[in-house]
Amino acid sequence: MPKILDNINHKLLDDLRVSMATALRADFCVGYFNLRGWKLIDDLTDQWSGEGDARTRLLVGMQDLPEGELRSSLSLLERPDGLDNKEAKRLRRRVAESFRQQLMLGAPSNSDAAGLRRLSRQLKEGKVQVKLFLGFLLHAKLYLLHRADHAAPRVAYVGSSNLTFAGLKRQGELNVDVVDSDATQKLAQWFEDRWTDRWAIDITLELAQIIDESWAGEQGHQPHDIYLKMAYHLSREARAGVGEFRIPQDLQKILFPYQTAAVQIAAHHLNKRGGVMLGDVVGLGKTLMATALVRVMQEAAPIRTLIICPVNLVPMWEDYVHRHALLAKVLPISRVTKGLPDEKHYQLVLIDESHNLRNREGKRYRAIQEYVAFHESKVILLSATPYNKSYEDLGAQLRLFVPEDADLGIRPEELIRETGEADFRAKYQAPVRSIAAFEKSPHADDWRDLMRLYLVRRTRSFVQANYAEEDPTDGRRYLTFSDGQRAYFPVRRPRTVTFAVDESDPADVYARLYAPDVVDTVGQLALPRYGLGNFIADKARREAKGAEKELLDNLGRAGKRLIGFSRTNLFKRLESGGATFVQSLERHVLRNYIFLHALEDGKPLPIGPQNAELLDERDDDEGTLFSTDGEATTPAEPTADTDEALNALDLTEAAYRARAAQVYGVYETAFKKRFRWIRAELFTGKLATALRQDARALLDILTAAGEWKPEHDPKLNALHTLLTQTHPNEKVLVFTQFADTVEYLVRELRKRGVTHIEGAVGSSKDPTELAWRFSPGSNNKTYVPDQELRVLIATDVLSEGQNLQDAHVIVNFDVCD
């Protein structure tokens, strides 16, 4: 009677090892062979010499192939003419690759490494010979042992077990032993017929090579080898894009090589994932690269493009559309809420300055997101600053075209490692391979993995290191235009421009502002408008419902972070310039009295967003109005609290209270929709007390500082001297964090007769256009260069873009001392 080996009561491995111990050789036929599983019997194989028939012959079916490829192979096998040599070689390589993939699964161990090395040695010594059977789908499981026994010359095992850990040891299999001489002779002949078949392909040495080249190999790997392997795989998509897409000939003539590579890589991402972000730093020509990308997609298929951009960039984009034959329409972002729902179908949507779409609750954001989803449009995002203050900025931009539950193919591994996968699922209720999962991660490595799929971003140093040439005469690096002209990368040598501060002089404005009592006063401000959540009444917090409850919850989250930022920002504005600091204090006082006016009259408070959007240091939150959807707006009509009106006020509480009442009247009428409003009775009386104390403390500073007179500003005087005496003929770039400083410097320098000067504020002008105008010779813009522009004063949106070839001097006005 046959013995039943089901790995429950009797394990196949145990019986097989007993039979192998007395056998002369073995013939195995399995549908699936696990390389790591060989170590269960490799010691018994070692007893055979490998000479003649004294070995293990292993015949493997095609079960390793993926389903689609297996189905295709089977269809070939069923044809009358069957396989040919070319197809057999392809299948051989494919199955060999599947063995290589085996070794990449699971965590390596010393035991596995030792077992795989023994298998490699046995393969090379001839003790194990492996063939791949391609004649037909072979799913049989046969273990046949040949013995020196006249009564029972062979023992066979037939059943369901593959040569794997599970097949030999774990439950759920069913096998029987066969010892009958006639039956085993027929099984031996069956095996021999398969082994000598034309389509039984020997892969012995290939398997040995696969093992030797893997982590289990004897030779080991140097760190440089590992680095090259990682670089090869990480650059796979970049290499695919470069080889797959071709740039139109007219654009090939004007693109630099680094721009060409970026367009090809971006085209691959766009074609594969439906969206891409071009995020090169300022000055590397993203606009031209985006234009080339649109042309690449346009020539691959008859598509039309919708270009959404800030209103000040509309003329530039319309010029590009005409000049480079784009099938495109330009739409200012200010019109998307009303105009986008009625737009016709555009297969491609290009969004310039996409970092402005960080607020997922904004009306503009929702309009664009809904349009992209409805029309299934591909999306190109352009931004030199895709990441501002939180990783959610990146997630929000990707969500314009990536559905929340879409399978990204990768997970936030750092976060999952930190929390555990089960706890992650329970806590966040989000698919682990979705963008929603990544938005829960605070880890930079997780976001790098995600953005690698969508972002093309190079720094200036990367371009210099990989694409620029070196001038042997002076070592400077340069790029070459199509006409042979060289564009040199500047070498900046920082120098400090000093100005005197006389602490003993009571008339010295900076001495008064830098006084310890001023610093202490700013450091002790409560800044309650930035921490409204600290003043919510307990009853209001308990009873609030719906939208009001959500608003109170948002106020509670802001708290210390915004308070700390506001205080730091005041100090930074003092560092930027006395005029800017005074201006900020005046605005701050007025806003406090606007809140006090509302609280004392029982009227609702006008508030803006209490989140990371306020942490953009380039903007002055005190002078900005916010729309109801949380997006920054610049009203066509002048704001109620203009600087001219503030400067005319007496530095008294009564004057500011009167002005606050007027401003509040404008807010609740003409500007009502530009704020969110919250009931005054939701807050405790401590809010009014804190507002009043801060306002009075700041009024004391303003009173002590006195009227600001630009002619007595030593910092401005030092800059004027630098422009008119130290560098009277060179081009000068002055940059600062604050738009107020730009406006102050331009206004006052023009009064002093400095000509050919222009200011660039990132929110109102295109800084890349101004940078190009400042540096004639670039082929990345189509505007007529302004050769006369000599002094450019800009917000720090240009501080990254210090590649202005003709800027002989660059001044960071904020840190002059």
How many percent of the chain have pLDDT more than 70?
Answer: 83
The gap from C-alpha 587 to its chain's centroid, in whole angstroms, comes to 37
pLDDT of 5 above 60: yes
With 0-12 / 13-18 / 19 or more C-beta atoms within 10 angstroms meaning exposed / middle / buried, residue 359 is: buried
Q: What is the mean pLDDT of residues 458-480?
A: 87
Residue 621: pLDDT band with limits 50, 70, 90: very low
Element (H, E) at 736: strand 731-736
What pLDDT score does 626 carry?
33
DSSP string, 342-402: G----SEEEEETGGG---TTSHHHHHHHHHHHHHT-EEEEE-S-S-SSSTHHHHHHHTTTS
**Averaged pLDDT for residues 351-377:** 90
pLDDT: which is higher, 763 or 546: 546
In the Cβ-directed half-sphere of 101, how many Cα atoms lie within 13 Å? 9
Structure confidence by residue, pLDDT tens digits, 335-362: 999 889 888 999 999 999 898 888 888 8
65-69, 193-197, 297-301 — most confident range: 193-197
The per-residue pLDDT for 169 is 85
Instruction: Write down the pLDDT at residue 648.
Output: 60
Amino acid 613: pLDDT: 38
Mean pLDDT (whole number) for 637-655: 61
Mean pLDDT in residue range 235-247: 64
What average pLDDT score do residues 293-303 get? 90
What spatial distance separates the first Cα and last Cα of the chain, rounded to whole Å?
A: 100
What is the rounded radius of gyration, in angstroms, for the C-alpha atoms of the chain?
Answer: 37
pLDDT band per the 50, 70, 90 thresholds, residue 293? very high
Residue in the block written with tokens 């085996």: 102
Q: What is the pTM of this model?
A: 0.56
The pLDDT confidence band at residue 637, using thresholds 50, 70 and 90, is very low
**How much is the pLDDT for 805?**
47
Q: To the nearest whole number, what is the mean pLDDT of the chain? A: 81
Q: Are 22 and 94 in contact (CB under 8 A)?
A: no
- pLDDT grade for 612, boundaries at 50, 70 and 90: very low
User: What is residue 104's predicted lDDT score, i.e. its pLDDT?
Assistant: 67
Using the predicted structure, report yes or no on whether residue 593 has a pLDDT greater than 90: yes
Separation of alpha carbons 565 and 530, rounded Å: 9
- In 783-801, which positions are buried (b, 16+ CB within 10 angstroms) versus exposed (e)? eeeeeebbbbbbbbbbbbb
Looking at 378-387, 558-567, 804-813, which range is the least confident one? 804-813
Burial class (CB in 10 A: 0-12, 13-18, 19+), 280: buried
Model pLDDT, residue 85: 75
In the predicted structure, residue 369 carries a pLDDT above the cut 90 = yes
pLDDT of residue 28: 96
Q: How many CB atoms lie within 10 A of CB 598?
A: 23
Give backbone dihedrals phi and psi of 49, rounded to 5 degrees, phi first. Answer: -75, -25
**The pLDDT of residue 213:** 81
Q: What pLDDT is recorded for position 816?
A: 54
Contact 414, 441 (CB under 8 A): yes
> Which pairing describes strands 154-159 and 605-607: parallel, antiparallel, or unpaired?
unpaired
DSSP secondary structure, 627-687, as one string? -TTS-EE--SSPPTT-HHHHHTS-SSHHHHHHHHHHHHHHHTTTTGGGSEEE-GGGB-THH
178 bridge partner residues: 156
In terms of average pLDDT, the best of 290-294, 461-465, 577-581, 738-742 is 290-294
Strands 469-470, 477-480: parallel, antiparallel or unpaired by DSSP?
antiparallel
Q: Per-residue pLDDT for 330 more than 50? A: yes
207, two tokens: 């398997």
User: Higher pLDDT residue, 52 or 816?
Assistant: 52
Question: What's the pLDDT tens digit per position in 122-144?
Answer: 999 999 999 999 888 888 999 99
DSSP annotation of 784 reads: P
Which tokens in the block code for residue 50?
């490998």
Structure tokens at 317: 């984009």
665/650 Cα distance (integer angstroms) = 20
The helix (run of H) or strand (run of E) holding residue 30 is strand 23-30
Region 222-244 average pLDDT: 67
Greatest mean pLDDT range, 53-57, 247-251, 479-483, 725-729: 53-57
- Residue 753's region, left for phi above 0, alpha for psi from -120 to 50, else beta, is left
**Cβ(816)–Cβ(497) below 8 Å:** yes
The sign of the dihedral angle between the CA atoms of 778, 782, 787, 789 is negative
- The whole-number average pLDDT for the span 213-219 is 74
pLDDT-based confidence at 421, cuts 50/70/90? confident
Residue 530 has pLDDT above 50, yes or no: yes
- Can you say how many angstroms the Cα of residue 448 is from the centroid of all Cα atoms in its chain? 6
Model confidence at 63, pLDDT cuts 50, 70, 90, reads: low
d(CA 564, CA 562): 5
pLDDT band at 484 (very low <50, low <70, confident <90, very high): confident
Contacts of 559 (CB under 8 A, 6+ apart): 531, 533, 534
